[in-house]
Structure 1
Amino acid sequence: MDPTRWMQTTFFPKETDVPEEFREGGVNLNHTLVGGELRPWDGSYAEVRSPICSAAQGDGVPQPLLIGRTPLMDEAAALEALDAAVQAYGQGSGDWPSMSVANRIEHVEQFLAEMRNHREAVVKLLMWEIGKTRKDACKEFDRTCDYINDTIHELKVLDRRSSRFEIVGGVVAQTRRLPVGVALCMGPFNYPLNETFTTLIPALIMGNTVVFKPAKYGVLLIGPLMDAFRKSFPPGVINIIFGRGRDTVGPLMESGKVDMFAFIGTHRGASALKQMHPKPHRLKAVLGLDANNPAIVLPDADFELAVSECISGALSFNGQRCTALKLLFVHDSLADQFVSKLSDAVNELVAGMPWEQDVSLTPLPEPGKIGFLRELVDDAIAKGASVVNECGGEVNGTYFHPAVLYPVTAEMRIYHEEQFGPVIPVAAFSDEQEVIEHVRDSSFGQQLSIFGSDSDTVGRLIDLLANQVGRINLNAQCQRGPDTLPFNGRKDSAEGTLSVSDALRVFSIRTTVATKSSESNRDLVTGIVRGRSSKILTTDYLF
């Protein structure tokens, strides 16, 4: 496939080549899920436009295709969904929070089975709505299924540990993890299935009831799953809302009825929403926020490995990942050569439509993103940087060709601002202290990557930078997985920790039942356990 095909007028499909389901308005989500019912929506709708455009005619500009519409729910509709969740929780006495761990697992397993039936539909919608390649869309779906399975397994392990009694200082006690309450879960557009479900599934399986708002982009894929949610969970346990955040999420927070806030987005958005809650000290939050992850390429780095990992780290899904490498610090002894190889590697990447084989660069889904990226590139050029790779930063409709910028300095916006897109800034350094100060002064602290082979140098950098970020990657790009590892951040990058096991803890609270170790109290506890008088104080556990 010609890697420069993106420059041609035939880059985007003709309207006649667009699948029938995405023509004439496309996929319409005309129901909401509230209180266990799929309710027809008779209000206003929001248009959903694809990053995929129809091929330009003549000198025309390619226009994003209209591929669907979703309900524009208002404050009243959102509050009705919240009330359904509040009622289902029943101050902790509802059927769902009172249900045994084994029974909740059965419901989640039923949902997983239903979800698997819609793999192809979800994959197709990921391609058409956010421009994710078919390979990555399949990977996201399958990884999400694996995550659900891993969560079920980890909950069984946690349940076995919690079934034990301990005697400490003359006190007999058992500690279990119980739900927090009503959770509001909101995911990001770049991983609208996987990232969303890494909070949604743990929230549900721990006994919380949920109001779920899909991402701003990547919302259509929820359509095939709505009936699966309805079939798999009791009424009110999960409620799905659509619409503008200011019309829906703001009123939910202001109501004070949200106990748990799971949000993946910007730190400014998270702060604004948290401040709306009338009792923020009672709001438990887990937040995945901005990141500006640097790579540090030392003089003795494995050159080919560093180039390969930096390309993948910077441009996987067009750089639209919080874990993407956003700024490359390369030692000046090899910076020129590194940039040359980096540019060659970019030129070898193939751009095209998400369903085409071997494609790794695709159109961008966010309106206004291309203008923002051009501003960053123009600012860097005005202050002394150059676009090193051929055609870097050029545009065709919703497609922005990756731009390698070099040399980047602290005076440029791209040195400090997260691009969240296909722009690769490279800064040369001679003294490691320059990089250390950048990391320390940054408002963000999710991850970083170090490329080098000298154990003394790398070890020293680990010690200097470990208190600045949540994860240090050695000779590898930044990444979230495996999902068993902690996923967190410092500063403005995160609040709380997510992994398969951490998520179960985040969406629960440890509650202890304790008594003095007297004969009468031991008899009381034994009677409760043997008579199965309590669902919480029990030694039952799952294999």
Structure 2
Amino acid sequence: MSSVIETRNPATGEALPPVDATPVDAIAGVVAAAAKAQREWAERPFEARAEVAERFVAKVREPAIAEALASAITTEMGKPLRYARSEVANIQSRTLAFIDRARTACADEVGTEGGIEVTTQWRPLGIVAVIAPWNFPVSTPNNLVMSALLTGNAAVLKPSEYTPRCGALYHEALAGLVPEGLFGLVQGGGEVGRGLVEADLDMVAFTGSIATGQAIMRSAAGGMKRLVLELGGKDPMIVLPGADVEAAAAFAVRNSLINSGQVCVSTERVFVHVDLEAEFVARVQAEVAKLRVGDPRAEDTDLGPMANAAQRQLVLDQLEDARARGAEVLVAGESHGPGYWLAPSVVRGVADDMRIATEETFGPVVSLSRFADADEVVRRANATDYGLGASVWGPEVDSKAVADRLEAGMIGINRGLSAAAGAPWVGWKLSGFGYSRSAAGMRNFMQPRTHARTVG
């Protein structure tokens, strides 16, 4: 394994300063330090742990720290700076929300039945490995790290090898506020990730591909390690007769293209009723034409480059397959260098067996198909191994009836999906194993223990 991690600025193609990789044989020491610190951390009252999380929020609100995090996100993965700043703001608001949810999750529950009183206690598992993706390199690890720490666990973070500086800066902001060793950091690629999963820990929280998630499950089986896995999506959007076409088209473009389509809950399959197709397609093309693709550090940029060359090539290959098999490319996104640039594409007439319909795209493409009736579109939307998110647009009664038949963990009706109101972030089928964010999700990071006594 290389002793350093080499990355490039996606906007320029220029090499960034290398980051030291963690030797695989050093992982055990990081985990052991986390285990030592976790024992004292778990004994702290919940409010003491919550106070640390509040101090972290205050620290990340400091302009210099917030801007350093946002700048690293833009430099390492190409996200426009204004959206990178939003990602940093997100970790502040979400951490505060997580405090309330974790408080509920950690509370004992008491019930009585047949003269027996049972108290269910919720206790931390121990050490949680957090293996993070590159598309939201600060907010996604924060979701999982905070879930672990607030519930009394230790955490060891492995950032993506594409965004090691983002992970290092996040770690630096938090590690000094908790007991030494409680929040560990390891850096590297697949070999380091495998070494971390195989280490003497209690749980793995991972966001990434299905193939890697399956490999983690196999590795974790021997030690019966707990898992929370978010494994991508192929989210459908269904536009029914009677839908607000203007609003639906605007959402289709926004949710297909934001972050250059590199979002686990991007809209990747848009199904439009035949009666609305012409108007909908025209509005989509008009919305795409408004977008500014350019320097991610410019304040008016909507879309920057893709994060890496491999992901851009995957999208190009899917587009070429669709074109060769009869799909109509209405807007052909241009690929150019020296960075990893790919302008938005709009593709109409996508058939269900094309690669762009069956494989996760994770790129700036609006993929359009038509349908004739509700039974047809439900069948086609569900004909996938993925099941993360979905949205349905149309009259409320009709939309809910279709939504209730979709095999997806999170569904929006005349809007995008949301984890508001303490809802879990959860997938269906191969898109997820376990879930997080809600109070119930926090309990995926905990072990229930019951005490029973006779009463009366």
Q: TM-score range by the shorter chain?
A: over 0.9
Listed as ranges, the gaps of 5+ residues in structure 2 are none
- Name the structure 2 match of 1:40: none
Residues paired across the two proteins, number = 452
Pairing partner for 1:482 from 417, 420, 428: 420
Q: Give yes or no for contact 2:208–2:230 (8 Å, CA) kept in 1.
A: yes
Amino acid in structure 1 at the alignment position of 2:429: K
Match of 1:304 among 217, 227, 246: 246
1:190 matched residue in structure 2? 135
Structure-1 separation of matches of 2:241 and 2:324 = 29
**Could you tell me how far apart the structure 2 residues matched to 1:270 and 1:433 are?**
32
Q: Percent identity?
A: 27
SS at match of 2:449: strand
User: How many angstroms apart in 1 are the aligned matches of 2:99 and 2:400?
Assistant: 37
Structure 2 residue 103 is matched with structure 1 residue 156: yes
When the two structures are superposed, what TM-score results if normalisation uses the length of structure 1?
0.79
Residue deviations 1:71-93 (CA, integer Å, cap 9, x gap): 1222111222122223334xxxx
CA distance in 1, matches of 2:295, 2:146: 31
Q: CA deviation at 1:166?
A: 4.3
Q: What is the match of residue 29 of structure 2?
A: 80
1:71 to 2, 7, 20: 20
Alignment partners' CA distance in 1, 2:173 and 2:140: 19
Contact 1:328 1:425 survives alignment (8 Å): yes
Change in 2 beyond 3 A, CA 1:167/1:461: closer
Are the counterparts in 1 of residues 350 and 357 from structure 2 also a CA contact under 8 Å? Answer: yes
The counterpart of 2:151, out of the listed 181, 197, 206, is 206
Q: Give the CA deviation at 1:197.
A: 0.8
Q: Does 1:503 align with 2:447?
A: no
**Alpha-carbon distance in 1 for matches of 2:418, 2:110:** 35
The whole-number CA distance in structure 2 between the counterparts of 1:140 and 1:365 is: 16
- Match of 2:248, SS state, is helix
Q: 1:252 aligns with which of 178, 196, 204?
A: 196
Map 1:409-428 to 2 at 5 A: 409-428=351-370
Sort the Cα spacing of 1:393 and 1:483 in 2 relative to 1 into closer, same or farther, 3 A. Answer: farther
Find the residue that maps to 1:188 and give its secondary structure. coil
Amino acid at match of 1:298: L
Q: 1:336 aligns with which of 258, 264, 278?
A: 278
Q: Is the 8 A contact 1:182 1:210 kept in 2?
A: yes
Q: 1:371 maps to what in 2?
A: 313
Aligned to 1:491: 429
Q: How far 1:434 sits from its partner (Å)?
A: 2.7
Once residues 21 and 103 of structure 2 are traced to their aligned partners in structure 1, the CA distance between those partners, rounded to angstroms, is 39
1:382 and 2:324 are equivalent in the alignment: yes
**Counterpart position of 2:205:** 262
Deviation at 1:339, TM superposition (A): 1.6
1:102 corresponds in structure 2 to 47
Amino acid of the structure 2 residue aligned with 1:252: L
SS at match of 1:110: helix
SS at match of 1:50: coil
> 1:278, 1:225 → 2: CA distance?
30
RMSD: 2.0
1:218 aligns with 163
CA contact (8 A) 1:105 1:152 kept: yes
Alignment match of 1:137 (pick from 84, 100, 124): 84
- CA distance, structure 2, for counterparts of residue 194 and residue 234 of structure 1: 22
Alpha-carbon separation, structure 2, partners of 1:235 and 1:115: 19
Whole-Å Cα distance in 2 between the matches of residues 401 and 166 of structure 1? Answer: 58
Question: How many Å separate the matches in 2 of 1:396 and 1:335?
Answer: 35
Cα distance change on mapping 1:231 and 1:354 into 2, 3 Å: same
User: Structure 2 length normalisation: TM-score?
Assistant: 0.93
**Aligned with 2:401 (options 429, 444, 460):** 460
Which of these residues, 230, 233, 236, is aligned with residue 288 of structure 1? 230
Paired with 1:342 and 1:193, the residues of 2 have a C-alpha distance of 31
CA contact (8 A) 2:206 2:230 kept: yes
Shift in Å at residue 454 of structure 1? 6.3
Residue in structure 1 matched with residue 7 of structure 2 by the alignment: 48
Paired residue type of 2:37: A
Tell me if the contact between 1:176 and 1:510 (Cα under 8 Å) persists in the aligned partners. yes
- Which letter maps to 2:426? N
Which sections of structure 1, spanning at least 5 residues, go unmatched? 1-42, 54-63, 519-543
* Residue 483 of structure 1, CA deviation: 6.6
Residue by residue over 1:109-166, the C-alpha shift from the partner in whole angstroms, topping out at 9 and shown as x without a partner, is: 333333333111101111111111222111111111111111222333455x52x654
Distance 1:184 1:102, change over 3 A: same
- Structure 1 contact 388–404 (Cα < 8 Å) conserved: yes
